[in-house]
Structures are given as C-alpha cells and as structure tokens.
Amino acid sequence: MFLGERPRLVQRINRIVDNEAEAEDLAQDTFVKLWHRQPRADDSVGLLYRTAHNLALDHLRAQKVRQRHQEGAQAEEQDDAHPSPEAIAATLERWGGLTAELDALPARTRRIFLLNRVEGETYAAIAERLGVSVSTVEKEMMRAMRVCRQWQRRHDEE
C-alpha cells in the first residue's frame, strides 16, 4: 500500500510543509509509524494519508515553536546588547552594593578575592605572591564567597 501511494503521499505532504525534502522525510516517518503498528482489518489508504497529514501538522507546529524560541533568543540578545537606561542604572546600583560589601572585607581577603576572581590567579600563585599558605588563601576565599552569597540572597529577596 505504501509503495503504491508514496508519490501521491509525498506530493500531498509537500503541499502542507512546502518543502520537498521534508515531505520525503515525513512520508518515510509515516511508513515507519505504521510499520510498528499492529495491522487491523479496517485499515485503509485513508489511515496512511491521515497519519501523514498529522505528522506534517506536528512538524509545522514544532517548526513554529523553534522559530518563536529563536526569535525570543534574538530579542533577548538585542535587549542585552542595548539595555535601557533604567536597566543600566539598576545594574550599577546592584554592583555598587556588592562593591561596598567587598570593600568591607579585610584588605587581605579582598585582595585574594580580586586576584582570583578578577585576575584569574590560582590559589597556589596567590599564596606564593602574598607569602601565605594555600590553606589561608582557601579560607579567605571562603569568607569572601560567603559575603557574595549573602549579598546575592539579599538582592534576590528584593
């Protein structure tokens, strides 16, 4: 049945999806779907066309979802590339709060944090540079990170 109807089936699917390669794929998907199904006495050519039609519509729906998702991602990228003055002010205010928190840290803790997070230094390199143990660097980083997490929690609650 499938082989005899295949050319007309592809043509019909192509009218729905407007892409011959996709129509070929969907016709093949129709065959596979029906192949895995238990045949019934009342199966007819109509089942073949109905299955193909449903797969084509599913394909179009999925295509629209992907397109909306892509457009949303592009819009988000544009928003990030050109933030509003309000968004810039809010970000600067947030970062000002974090900077104030970091400024309140002991000088060595702040320096270790900045060397690691801003300059990308390893704990071992920081320890050698400052003449302290790696364990001290780890403890100071934990203190600084605790302050950052507390600031983040407060900010998330606002």
Dump pLDDT digits (tens) for 54-104.
Answer: 999 999 999 998 888 888 777 766 666 677 788 888 888 888 888 898 999
Q: Tell me what pLDDT residue 122 has.
A: 94
- This prediction has a pTM of 0.46
C-beta separation of 48 from 9 below 8 A: yes
Topology of the domain comprising 84-157: Arc Repressor Mutant, subunit A (1.10.10)
The predicted-structure confidence for 140-149, as pLDDT tens digits, reads as follows 999 999 999 9
Q: Which amino acid is at 38?
A: Q
CA 132 to chain centre: 41
pLDDT in the model for residue 5: 85
* Coil, strand or helix at 46: helix
Q: b/e map of 66-78 (b: 16 or more CB within 10 Å)?
A: eeeeeeeeeeeee
Q: How far, CA to CA in Å, does 136 sit from each of 36, 109, 131? A: 64, 10, 10
State the span(s) of the chain assigned CATH 1.10.10.10: 84-157
> For residues 132 and 135, what is the distance between their CA atoms, to the nearest angstrom?
8
State percent of the chain over pLDDT 90.
53
Who has greater pLDDT, 91 or 139? 139
Which pLDDT value is given to residue 121?
92
